[in-house]
Amino acid sequence: MNNLLTNQLPVADWVETITEWVTNNFAGLFSFIQNTGQAVMDSITHGLVQIPPFIFIILLTIAAFFVSQKRFGLTLFTFIGLLFIYNQGLWTDLMSTVTLVLISSVVSIIIGIPLGILMAKSSKAQSIITPILDFMQTMPGFVYLIPAVAFFGIGMVPGVFASVIFALPPTVRFTNLGIRQVPKELVEASDSFGGTAWQKLFKLELPLAKNTILAGINQTTMLSLSMVVIASMIGAPGLGRGVLSALQRAQVGNGFVNGVALVILAIIIDRFTQHLNKPKTVTSKSMSKKKKWGVTASVVVVILAAVGISSFTANSTTDKEINLAYVEWDTEIASTNVVAEVLRQMGYKVNVTPLDNAIMWESVAKGEMDGMVAAWLPNTHGSQYAQYKDQVEDLGANLTGAKVGLVVPSYMDVDSIEELKAQAGKTITGIEPGAGVVNAAENTLKTYSNLSDWKVATSSSGAMTVALGQAIKNKEEIVITGWSPHWMFAKYDLKYLEDPKGGMGDEEAIHTIVRDGLKENQPEAYQLLDNFKWTKEDMEKVMLEIKNKKDPQKAAQDWIKNNQELVDSWKK
């Protein structure tokens, strides 16, 4: 007993081992799913984007009109809501989100309905599956992202994987419930006439359970929509990405706009699926059958056409395509946008994907991403570098003189980490939990005895700057995990705390890291990334522009215009 209490069970290690084993043994299957899934979803998104937005909006409005039985509320809402999304420039994101929701819902239905039928038919299956469903529904959605990345890397496929796990239970439960609720006498009637199990299922149980099942499907689509936001942390494109980056950069307005767009989409999907669920009157029965066929046929035609167009155009895409990963820190937003812009001017198609820090490293190591210009070495990302250094190529520093440390407002009378006692509620306000500077701060707490009862409160880089602004406004004490270059040094009067034991690291450099083999595949891009170098001042210019509400891409373009000479020197 004592042993049990004192020795921690290595559950985490077991799970790691199992995941690793699965990843290694099914690597072929996973990469096949990843590639086909990615291709399918890209072509769907591509096809949806190909349809001119106005035509799309009008088509959906007409659909809403008929679906809602000619009531104007939903029709008007659909029209105005979609126009609003288009007006805010979120159309492409919307289409990515629609694809993600569509695929996760379809996969959930394909898996969920048979599972629900199995549960309804076998009480043993029900008693096994029910606790698993409870587990799936109560486990925080974030947890599913971790194995999703391990199995499928980053992008839409792991997003779908996580969404399916999270959104599957309602469909299963409702299918089971609907079939079990079919009156016993009717089941007996079907049996007494010698109907087989399949005949009973298709002629009696599914038609009667249809409305319950549709209610479950409606729940599933809603849940998968909510997962879209979370899945954007692992590179799933769409509206979620906007919400997440707004959170990380504490931009209330952007967050609101993206959130509202999601709400509009959610309401439209919800109303559409609910109206499909309306009980039909008898008189409309024969009509609605014809109508249903018509609608189904037209939808199929549209999808086929879209896929056809997209596959046609997909073949004509340039092979000069490059994927850059970055973390949503203000430094990285600036540098990545500048590099991406230069590459675009060189004729590349550049996809930039915001990711969580650890996932960014992993994606480059796995070769899913071509590179990044956001590696803080030797300290901040020391642990990631140690983990992946054999799988990536370090092209050296693109910016030197970067610094990481604990930062306080100048009016606080501490100058060194050793002088911290009970200031700021013994709390260091940090950024994202996976960030290198946070790890460094946690190590620092261990190395300094006076910080033994301090803690690091993690949030996001955006939230941290907001907290800093608030504290300075109220002349309160605050200790943050800071780094430069950063616009906050330009905006506020701040100072780094001295770090005699060097726990937070000395001067650092930001490195450019690319995947192995980029040199052979994309020599030009490799050349540019290798040559890319600029100064703290350059970067802070771009950062301030962005901070002052300029679109990052626009800010990068302006900076390139003003520094054409330097940019040209990179291309050689």
Partner 1 sequence: MIKVQVNNLTKVFGKKAQTALAMMKEHRPKTEILAKTGATVGVYDVNFEVNEGEIFVIMGLSGSGKSTLIRLLNRLIEPTSGDIYIDGQDIAKLSKEGLREVRRHKMSMVFQNFGLFPHRTILENTEYGLEVRGIPKEERQQKAEQALKNSGLISFKDQLPNQLSGGMQQRVGLARALANDPEILLMDEAFSALDPLIRREMQDELIDLQANVQKTIIFITHDLNEALRIGDRIALMKDGEIMQIGTGEEILTNPANDYVREFVEDVDRSKVLTAQNIMVPALTTNIDIDGPNVALNRMRKEEVSMLMVVNKKRELKGYITAESALEARKTHRPLSEFVDATIRTVDKEMLVNDIFTIIFDSPTPLAVVENGRLQGVIIRGSVLEALAETSEVNEDE
List residues binding partner 1 (CB under 8 A).
183, 185-186, 188-196, 199, 203-204, 207-208, 282
Find the shortest distance in angstroms from Cβ 127 to partner 1. Answer: 16
Which residue lies nearer to partner 1 by CB, 55 or 282?
Answer: 282
The amino acid sitting at 375 is A
Pairing of strands 427-429, 392-409: unpaired
* In 440-560, beta strands by DSSP E: 455-457, 479-484, 494-496, 508-515
- In 3D, which of 562, 568, 435, 449 has the Cα closest to residue 500? 449
Which residue lies nearer to partner 1 by CB, 201 or 546?
Answer: 201
Which residue lies nearer to partner 1 by CB, 203 or 292?
Answer: 203
Which residue lies nearer to partner 1 by CB, 193 or 537?
Answer: 193
Find the shortest distance in angstroms from Cβ 190 to partner 1. Answer: 8
Which residue lies nearer to partner 1 by CB, 278 or 349?
Answer: 278
Which residue lies nearer to partner 1 by CB, 193 or 565?
Answer: 193
Pairing of strands 392-409, 494-496: antiparallel
Four-residue CA torsion sign, 420, 425, 431, 436:
positive
Which residue lies nearer to partner 1 by CB, 203 or 421?
Answer: 203
- In 3D, which of 380, 399, 267, 278 has the Cα closest to residue 334? 399
Q: 3-state class of 512 per DSSP?
A: strand
Find the shortest distance in angstroms from Cβ 118 to partner 1. Answer: 19
Find the shortest distance in angstroms from Cβ 288 to partner 1. Answer: 13
Which residue lies nearer to partner 1 by CB, 13 or 185?
Answer: 185
Find the shortest distance in angstroms from Cβ 284 to partner 1. Answer: 12
Which residue lies nearer to partner 1 by CB, 187 or 307?
Answer: 187
The single residue listed with the structure tokens 């604990």 is 406
Which residue lies nearer to partner 1 by CB, 192 or 548?
Answer: 192
The amino acid sitting at 153 is G
Q: Report CA dihedral (248, 561, 487, 344) to the nearest 10 degrees.
A: 20
Chain center to CA of 152: 14
Which residue lies nearer to partner 1 by CB, 70 or 184?
Answer: 184
Q: 3-state class of 327 per DSSP?
A: coil
The amino acid sitting at 282 is V
Q: Report CA dihedral (238, 242, 245, 250) to the nearest 10 degrees.
A: -160
List the Cα angle 394/396/399 in 5-degree steps. Answer: 135
d(CA 393, CA 388): 10
Find the shortest distance in angstroms from Cβ 93 to partner 1. Answer: 41
Find the shortest distance in angstroms from Cβ 214 to partner 1. Answer: 14
Find the shortest distance in angstroms from Cβ 212 to partner 1. Answer: 13
Which residue lies nearer to partner 1 by CB, 1 or 193?
Answer: 193
List the Cα angle 315/320/322 in 5-degree steps. Answer: 110
User: CB count, 10 Å around CB of 519?
Assistant: 16
- Overall residue count recorded for the chain in this entry: 572
Q: 3-state class of 363 per DSSP?
A: helix
The single residue listed with the structure tokens 């029209």 is 79
Find the shortest distance in angstroms from Cβ 121 to partner 1. Answer: 15
Q: 3-state class of 90 per DSSP?
A: coil
Find the shortest distance in angstroms from Cβ 462 to partner 1. Answer: 54
Dump the DSSP string for 92-108: HHHHHHHHHHHHHHHHH
- Please name the residues in contact with 194: beta carbons below 8 A apart, sequence gap of 6 or more: none
Find the shortest distance in angstroms from Cβ 162 to partner 1. Answer: 37
- Run of H or E including 482: strand 479-484
Which residue lies nearer to partner 1 by CB, 183 or 396?
Answer: 183
Find the shortest distance in angstroms from Cβ 196 to partner 1. Answer: 7
Q: Write b or e for each residue in 35-48: b if 16 or more Cβ atoms lie within 10 A of its Cβ, otherwise e.
A: eebbeebbbbbbbb
The amino acid sitting at 491 is K
Find the shortest distance in angstroms from Cβ 48 to partner 1. Answer: 35
Cα within 13 Å of Cα(510), Cβ side: 26
